[in-house]
C-alpha cells in the first residue's frame, strides 16, 4: 500500500517500538545499537528515567499556556542556560531552524536598533547547514535545498571555509553578522579549527559584526563541553541550539548577549508553542543530567576511546574507511565506499549510523554510552566494512 505521507524522506524499512538507553527495539523484537540518536537528539538515550519522570509529572499539571503568561519552568531553564554560558538572555523555539531564524532576525534588528537598518546581510560558509525554512536554506547555501523553491531569500553571502581574503572581500557596509557551525554536521563532521573561530571573532569585532554560532548539532554536551565554542576560547554574540537540548522533545533555543539582543523588544518576535511548560520541564531535566558533576568529563573520555578504536578500525580497513573526523561523541567516518551503502550494511549488522555530506557516515551515540557500547559499535562497524571487502574480493576473482 502506498504511504499517506509526503514522500520527502527515503525511509529505512524498519520501525521501532521502544528504546532503552542506547538500544532501539524493532517491532519484530530485534535490537539495534543506536549510534544515530535520532540525529544527535536523544543525547540521554531512550526512555531515560529522569526525563520520563519530568515529562509525565508536567503532563499531569499543565501542558501549554502560551507566552502571554509567565512560565516559571522556562524562567528557570533560561536562567540555568545563561549561567552556564556566555549569554544574558534566551529565546525558546521548537526546532533548530526556528532557533536560527531568531538568531538571524536578532542580528538584523541589532543593527536596525543602532540606526543601521541597511546592515542585514549574513556571511555563511560553504558546506553549511542551518535548516529547511526559506531563510535557513538561503543561509546554508546548498543548491539542492534551494532549487525549485522560488527566489532565494536575499541577505546571505557564502564564502569558502578558512579563506580570510574571501571573507574580507565579502564584507560590505550591508553586512550584519557571520554565522558558522563549530563542527559542520550535515556537511560531513567537518571540525572548524579553533584558530579559524578566533579569526572570525577578531574580524567580527573589527567590522562591528555579530558572530552567530549554530550549535544545533554540536551543542549540549555532544563534544564533551556544554557547547563546542568552549574549546576555542572565544564566545559568540548569538548561539542557536536544538537537537540534544530536549532529549527528544522538540525544543530549540537562541541564546544571546544583552547587547546583541538590544533590538528585540516586546512584540518584535514570537512563537505560540516555543518554551511551553512541557518542553521546559524536559529541558530542565536534560540539564540536570548534562550539568551533573563528571558527566561531560565522561563524554570526553568515551569520545577519546571511540576515536582510538575508530583509528584502529580504519587501519584494518583502509579500502573502506579513509578518514576519522570529529570531537567527543560527534564522529565521522569518511568512506572509500558509498556512505549510504555503508550505513545500510551497518544497519544489517544492527548498528544505526547516519550518512552526511562529503561521503561521511556520522556516529552520534547517546552521550550516556560507555566502553561496552563503544566496543559493540566498533565490532558491528567491522562487520559492515568486511561486507565491502568480501564483495571486492568476489568481484576480483
Ligand X SMILES: *Cc1c(COP(=O)(O)O)cnc(C)c1O
The footprint of ligand X (CB under 6 A) covers: 95-97, 100, 129-131, 181, 185-186, 214, 216-217, 242-243
Q: Does 215 appear as a known binding residue?
A: yes
Q: Does 191 appear as a known binding residue?
A: no
CA distance 393 to 372: 32
254 in Cβ contact with 51 (< 8 Å):
no
* Residue reference for cell 567516518: 333
CB of 252 to ligand X, least distance (A): 6
Q: Does 223 appear as a known binding residue?
A: no
Residue in 215, 202, 212, 245 with CA at minimum distance from that of residue 105: 212
Q: Does 272 appear as a known binding residue?
A: yes
CB atoms within 10 A of CB 42: 28
Q: Does 376 appear as a known binding residue?
A: no
Q: Does 142 appear as a known binding residue?
A: no
Name the residue whose CB lies closest to ligand X: 96
Nearer to ligand X, 48 or 243 (CB): 243
> For residue 37, what is its C-alpha cell?
540518536
CB of 43 to ligand X, least distance (A): 13
Report the DSSP pairing between strands 31-34 and 351-352.
parallel
Nearer to ligand X, 98 or 317 (CB): 98
Nearer to ligand X, 191 or 216 (CB): 216
CB of 322 to ligand X, least distance (A): 23
CB of 127 to ligand X, least distance (A): 11
CB of 243 to ligand X, least distance (A): 6
> For residue 302, what is its C-alpha cell?
568515551
350: left (phi over 0), alpha (psi -120 to 50) or beta: left
323-342 in b/e burial notation, b at 16+ Cβ within 10 A? ebbbbbbbbbbbbbbebeeb
CB of 148 to ligand X, least distance (A): 19
Hey, CA dihedral for 72, 75, 78, 84, is it positive or negative? negative
Nearer to ligand X, 100 or 175 (CB): 100
Nearer to ligand X, 99 or 313 (CB): 99
246 in Cβ contact with 40 (< 8 Å):
no
Q: Does 217 appear as a known binding residue?
A: yes
Nearer to ligand X, 332 or 384 (CB): 332
- Residue ranges at the known binding site: 96-97, 129, 132, 214-217, 271-272
- Residue ranges at the known binding site for N(2)-acetyl-L-ornithine: 132, 271
Amino acid at each position: 500500500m502506498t504511504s499517506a505521507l509526503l514522500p520527502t524522506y527515503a525511509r529505512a524499512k524498519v520501525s521501532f517500538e521502544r528504546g532503552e538507553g542506547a538500544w532501539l527495539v524493532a517491532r519484530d523484537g530485534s535490537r539495534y545499537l543506536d549510534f544515530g540518536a535520532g540525529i544527535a537528539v536523544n543525547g540521554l538515550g531512550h526512555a531515560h528515567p529522569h526525563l520520563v519522570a519530568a515529562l509525565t509529572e508536567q503532563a499531569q499539571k499543565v501542558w501549554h499556556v502560551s507566552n502571554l503568561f509567565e512560565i516559571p519552568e522556562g524562567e528557570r531553564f533560561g536562567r540555568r542556560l545563561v549561567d552556564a554560558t556566555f549569554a544574558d538572555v534566551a529565546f525558546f523555539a521548537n526546532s533548530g531552524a526556528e532557533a536560527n531564524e531568531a538568531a538571524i532576525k536578532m542580528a538584523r534588528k541589532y543593527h536596525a536598533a543602532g540606526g543601521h537598518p541597511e546592515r542585514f546581510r549574513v556571511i555563511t560558509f560553504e558546506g553549511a547547514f542551518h535548516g529547511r525554512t526559506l531563510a535557513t536554506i538561503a543561509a546554508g547555501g546548498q543548491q539542492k535545498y534551494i532549487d525549485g523553491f522560488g527566489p532565494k531569500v536575499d541577505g546571505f553571502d557564502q564564502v569558502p571555509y578558512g579563506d580570510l581574503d574571501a571573507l574580507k572581500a565579502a564584507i560590505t557596509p550591508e553586512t550584519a553578522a557571520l554565522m558558522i557551525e563549530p563542527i559542520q554536521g550535515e556537511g560531513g563532521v567537518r571540525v572548524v579549527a579553533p584558530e579559524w573561530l578566533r579569526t572570525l571573532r577578531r574580524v567580527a569585532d573589527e567590522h562591528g559584526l555579530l558572530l552567530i554560532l549554530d550549535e544545533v548539532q554540536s551543542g549540549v554536551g555532544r563534544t564533551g563541553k556544554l557547547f563546542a565554542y568552549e574549546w576555542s576560547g572565544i564566545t559568540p554574540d548569538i548561539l542557536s541550539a536544538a537537537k540534544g537540548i530536549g532529549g527528544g522533545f522538540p525544543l530549540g533555543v537562541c541564546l544571546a548577549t544583552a547587547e546583541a539582543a538590544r533590538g528585540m523588544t516586546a512584540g518584535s518576535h514570537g512563537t505560540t508553542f516555543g518554551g511551553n511548560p512541557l518542553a521546559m520541564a524536559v529541558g530542565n531535566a536534560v540539564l540536570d543530567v548534562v550539568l551533573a558533576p563528571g558527566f561531560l568529563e565522561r563524554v570526553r573520555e568515551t569520545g577519546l576511546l571511540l576515536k582510538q578504536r575508530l583509528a584502529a578500525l580504519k587501519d584494518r580497513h583502509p579500502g573502506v574507511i579513509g578518514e576519522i573526523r570529529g570531537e567527543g561523541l560527534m564522529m565521522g567516518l569518511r568512506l572509500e565506499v558509498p556512505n549510504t551503502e555503508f550505513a545500510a550494511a551497518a544497519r544489517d549488522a544492527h548498528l544505526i549510523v547516519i550518512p552526511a555530506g562529503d561521503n561521511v557516515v556520522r556516529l552520534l551515540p547517546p552521550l550516556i554510552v560507555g566502553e561496552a557500547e563503544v566496543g559493540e559499535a566498533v565490532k558491528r562497524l567491522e562487520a559492515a566494512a568486511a561486507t565491502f571487502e568480501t564483495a571486492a574480493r568476489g568481484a576480483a576473482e
